[in-house]
Amino acid sequence: MDDTTTPDGTGPVTVTVTDDVAVIDLDDGKANALGFDVLAGLESALDRAEADDVSAVVIVGRDGKFSAGFDLKVMTSGPEGARDMLGRGALLGLRMYMFPKPVVLAVTGHALAMGAILLCCADVRVGA
């Protein structure tokens, strides 16, 4: 993994490797809603961290806002979108819970709905 990369080259998920720790940073410039783009970015970042020679993963959000949870526009768009988003979120949570390397969530601020569930899926939670 490069020192600083984004999983797809753009978007709200950034990966930085320092020494042997991958830091995954969520920052959509707003409330860090977990839309399909953010979920895909997190999945890709975890893929890279799992394949790379890092010993731990730290996931952080914007200062004061870890995550507002699922994207409400998708969740209220109809049953198909909500079902797809819930399925992707459940798989992400399970993957974090079963991840072969320690996952730390460093949270400064709100972690609502699915953001709070992700806290439960991490090995270690640090809040301020």
* Right CATH for 4-127 from 3.90.226.10, 3.40.30.10, 2.60.450.10, 3.40.190.10: 3.90.226.10
- Extents of the domains making up the chain: 4-127
- Using alpha carbons, select from 75, 68, 115, 73 the residue that is nearest to residue 96: 115
Split at pLDDT 50, 70, 90, the class of 6 is low
| Proportion of the chain above pLDDT 70, given as a percent | 92
pLDDT of residue 31: 95
pLDDT exceeds cutoff 90 at 124:
yes
What integer pLDDT is reported at residue 11 of this predicted model?
A: 76
Q: What is the mean pLDDT of the chain?
A: 92
Place 4 in a pLDDT band, splitting at 50, 70 and 90.
Answer: very low
pLDDT tens sequence across 17-76:
999 999 999 999 999 999 999 999 999 999 999 999 999 999 999 999 999 999 999 999
The H or E element containing residue 103 is strand 103-107
pLDDT range class, residue 13, cuts 50, 70, 90: very high
39-53 burial: b if 16+ Cβ within 10 Å, else e:
bbbbbbbbebbeeee
Instruction: Retrieve residue 68's tokens.
Output: 């507002």
Helices (H), 1-35: none
Please report, as a single letter, which amino acid is at residue 87. G
Q: How far apart are CA 26 and CA 89, in angstroms?
A: 15
What are phi and psi for residue 7, nearest 5 degrees?
Answer: -55, -40
pLDDT at 119 over 50: yes
Beta bridge partners of 93: none
In order, the DSSP letters of 48-78 are HHHHTT-SEEEEE-BTEEEE-EE-HHHHTS-
